[in-house]
Amino acid sequence: MGKLLVLIAALTAWVPKHDSQRRPACPSVYVQTQTGWRFAGDILQNALAPRIDTLELGSASGALTIELRDVKGEKTFLDSIELDLDGVTVQPVECGRACRRDERFEVIGDARMFRFTWREPSARRVTLRVSGYVPRHITSIL
């Protein structure tokens, strides 16, 4: 497959400082901006069973690329990922098993990350919506 040209999103939302030592078990969300990768928050915090969680990302202009990263050695079982762009649900360009909620989980762990890109028009309100869970008793089995 050819390389995917990714336009960089211009986010206007405030991005909090990353502090991996004080956060509960969950994947970290990073957003690609014009100046590099920025920590946007955590998702699926304390999700011991499958559930849907959201993270407000602010606004975007152009394509948007997001990484879900394991930074603390946990396992995240990702069922689906999508964006809500001003009330319209949009799937990423490629998402493998994470394209729909079907309990066929993609596993993020062992310092792995998954990158997702959306090629959509600008949106004033961007919300990341993720379905999955992070069981506390699994740390490095897979």
pTM over 0.85: no
| 103 and 79 Cβ atoms separated by less than 8 Å | yes
User: Read out DSSP for 69-109?
Assistant: E--SS-EEEEEEEEEEETTEEE--S--GGGGS-SS-PEEEE
Q: What residue has token string 């969680």?
A: 53
Q: Is the pLDDT of residue 9 over 50?
A: no
Give the integer Cα–Cα distance in Å for 121 and 141: 40
Selection from 80, 64, 79, 42 nearest residue 126 by Cα: 64
What's the confidence (pLDDT) of residue 111?
Answer: 67
Residues 6+ apart with CB under 8 A from 1: none
Domain ranges of the chain: 28-133
pLDDT tens, 17-44? 334 444 455 889 999 988 999 999 999 9
| 94 and 47 Cβ atoms separated by less than 8 Å | no
Phi-psi region of 102 (alpha: psi -120 to 50; beta: other; left: phi over 0): alpha
Residues 6+ apart with CB under 8 A from 112: 69, 70
Q: Which residue has the higher pLDDT, 53 or 140?
A: 53
